Amino acid sequence: AQSVTQPDIHITVSEGASLELRCNYSYGATPYLFWYVQSPGQGLQLLLKYFSGDTLVQGIKGFEAEFKRSQSSFNLRKPSVHWSDAAEYFCAVVLSMDSSYKLIFGSGTRLLVRP
């Protein structure tokens, strides 16, 4: 079955430390890949997306993600976490053959930031 997996339910990092959030997908072809962030009381906000081309993608708020076809992964990274990054992060895909462009989300990773 087609799926998006975020294996870490919670991650806690210290402010200023680096961050990597994992995302794996299982599809026959390369999907379009997205990372969204959801803060309490806020709507989902797009951090970055990958459709094709350079496999290292830069996003907003200092985030980046790398697409690795061999590992079916699209991990999100940030070199230095700020307290304001505490939120829920969702990896999502769109099947490239799906004309509706509907998003298929993982179950999310909650990031906690220690002062």
Partner 1 sequence: GAGVSQTPSNKVTEKGKYVELRCDPISGHTALYWYRQSLGQGPEFLIYFQGTGAADDSGLPNDRFFAVRPEGSVSTLKIQRTERGDSAVYLCASSRGTSDTGSEQFFGPGTRLTVL
Q: Which residues bind partner 1 (CB under 8 A)?
A: 4, 32, 36, 41-46, 49, 51, 90, 92, 94, 99-108
Cβ at position 32, least distance to partner 1 in Å: 8
Q: Chain-centre distance of CA 90, in angstroms? A: 5
In sequence order, what are the residues at sequence separation of 6 or more whose Cβ sits closer than 8 angstroms to the Cβ of residue 34? 46, 48, 49, 50, 91, 92, 93, 94, 103
SS3 69: helix
22, 25, 21: which is closest to 4 by C-alpha?
Answer: 25
Nearer to partner 1 by Cβ, of 81 and 89: the residue is: 89
Cβ at position 15, least distance to partner 1 in Å: 25
Cβ at position 106, least distance to partner 1 in Å: 5
Nearer to partner 1 by Cβ, of 81 and 92: the residue is: 92
